[in-house]
Amino acid sequence: MTRLPTVDNGIVRALLALVKQRGGDAAALRRAVGLADVDLEARWGRVALTTYYDLIERSSAALGDPALGIRLGQASALDEFDLVSILLMTAPTLGHALRTVLRFQRLWAEGEWLELGVARSEARLVFHPWGLPREAHRLLAGYHLVEAARVPPALLRRPWRPLHAEVAWPVDATTPLLEEALGVPVRCGSPATALVFPAALLDAPMPAADRLIHGELLRQAAERLRARPDGIDLIDQLSAHLEQRLEDGALSVAQAAAALGRSTRSLQRDLRAQGTSFGQVLRAVREARAARLLRAGVSVTEVALRLGYSQTSAFSRAFRQWTGVAPTDVR
């Protein structure tokens, strides 16, 4: 079943704060992607990842700043004493701290994921975005690289420098800015986005290591991960229904609510409580099916019909809006 990933609303607040600081109309951008005050004020609230992607793309365009992701990484707060930050500081080694990040990364973001690999003398922290290629991936790659480069010196309380960084896109206007922010060369056109550093650094002891505190916080983090309400059942139910009805063409929230035994208002309210909406779930279902069919070699015309579009051109426009690429580019 299709599942719509989410991010912690604190990440979204940080982006909006940066936009406002740089002179952008954060309120207008928030409204443009359908975010209400309640979406951002709830403690441990969640926002659909597609909404976050839309927001950073719109923000970058509004500010005329293709390096917004890099600036977001530079502005991220590393000195907040929340559960996760203290959990990392009390780990025995840097390697243990980074693996703890990987273990609990779903606390702040789903869909996207980080991977730590070691080969010979090099360690690689790799960023994997969610969905088909789009501008948000490039923007957030810069964010993740810069933030990842700032974490080790903050935890170890001493300077460090990675070996180099890798990005999937070719050299562009943001490359010098990224190299300046990282202090190392950036290898463009690589298979993935990665920060490469000496593997020996993983064994570096943490100055604030505390076995007892770390163990207790591990337990709390595990409980919070298990208890976090994410609305998987409702989103899965709605997604499964939409999957079955895609070829019907006209799909409405009222029809879906009736099929799920709910009122239209209650369905909209419950989806909103999970940081999403009927339209966003429908978009995710369509995008996921389109990706599967296109990668399987199905023609664009046939994919359009299977997604309920009467015209191939309408599907092609929608697909480009979802992903930033034409359906003919996906193979």
122 in any annotated domain: yes
284 shares its domain with 136? no
Answer yes or no: do 132 and 248 share one domain.
no
Residues 236 and 205 in one domain: no
Same domain, 113 and 204: yes
The pLDDT value given to residue 194: 95
Tens of pLDDT, residue by residue, the chain (331 residues)? 445 688 989 999 999 999 999 999 999 999 998 888 878 887 778 888 889 999 999 999 999 999 999 999 999 876 665 778 888 999 999 999 998 888 888 788 887 888 888 888 999 999 988 877 889 999 999 999 999 999 999 999 999 999 999 998 999 999 999 999 999 999 999 988 999 999 999 999 999 999 999 999 988 888 877 766 544 457 777 877 787 778 776 688 988 887 776 788 888 887 876 667 888 888 888 888 888 788 778 899 998 888 888 889 998 998 888 777 888 887 6
Residue type, 201: L
Asked whether residue 171 is domain-assigned, the answer is yes
Domain span at 293: 232-329
Q: How far apart are CA 192 and CA 219, in angstroms?
A: 33
In a domain, residue 206? The reply is: yes
pLDDT at 128: 85
Q: What is the pLDDT of residue 263?
A: 83
pLDDT for res 165: 98
Q: Is the pTM of this model over 0.85?
A: no
Question: Do residues 192 and 293 both lie within one domain?
Answer: no
Position 79 scores a pLDDT of 64
Both tokens of 51, joined, read: 């909404």
CA distances from 175 to 71, 74, 90, 142, 146 (A): 13, 15, 35, 10, 12
Q: Residue 250's domain is classified under what CATH number?
A: 1.10.10.60
Q: How far apart are CA 262 and CA 194, in angstroms?
A: 45
Rounded-to-integer distance, Cα 79 and Cα 208, Å:
14
How many independent structural domains does the chain possess?
2
Q: Does residue 72 sit in the same domain as residue 209?
A: yes
Q: Are residues 217 and 325 in the same domain?
A: no
Domain end (from 200, 227, 254): 227
Distance CA 90, CA 99 (A): 13
Looking at residue 281, its pLDDT comes to 84
Same domain for 172 and 238: no
- 59 and 187 in a common domain: yes
Instruction: Say yes or no: 37 and 136 in one domain.
Output: yes
- How far is 75 from 230, CA to CA, in rounded Å? 28
Helices (H), the chain: 9-21, 26-32, 37-41, 49-63, 68-75, 83-89, 94-104, 135-156, 175-182, 211-227, 232-245, 253-259, 264-273, 278-295, 300-306, 312-323
CATH of the domain at 182: 3.90.1520
63 belongs to a structural domain: yes
Cβ contacts of 292 within 8 Å, gap of 6 or more: none
> Do residues 302 and 260 make contact, with C-beta atoms less than 8 angstroms apart?
no
Same domain, 252 and 176: no
Question: What pLDDT shows up at residue 228?
Answer: 60
Structural domain includes residue 299 = yes
Closest to 34 (Cα-Cα) out of 21, 17, 47: 47
Residue at 1 is within a domain: no
- Lookup: tokens for 251: 């799909």
Residue 106 lies in a domain: yes
Domain limit, last residue, from 181, 209, 227: 227
Q: What is the number of alpha carbons within 13 Å of residue 304 lying toward its C-beta?
A: 18
Domain boundary among 170, 199, 227: 227
Measured distance CA(211)–CA(111) in Å, rounded:
31
Q: In terms of domains, do 179 and 299 share one?
A: no
- The pLDDT value recorded for residue 232 is 46
Beta-carbon count within 10 A of 292 CB? 11
- Whether residue 119 is contained in a domain is answered as yes
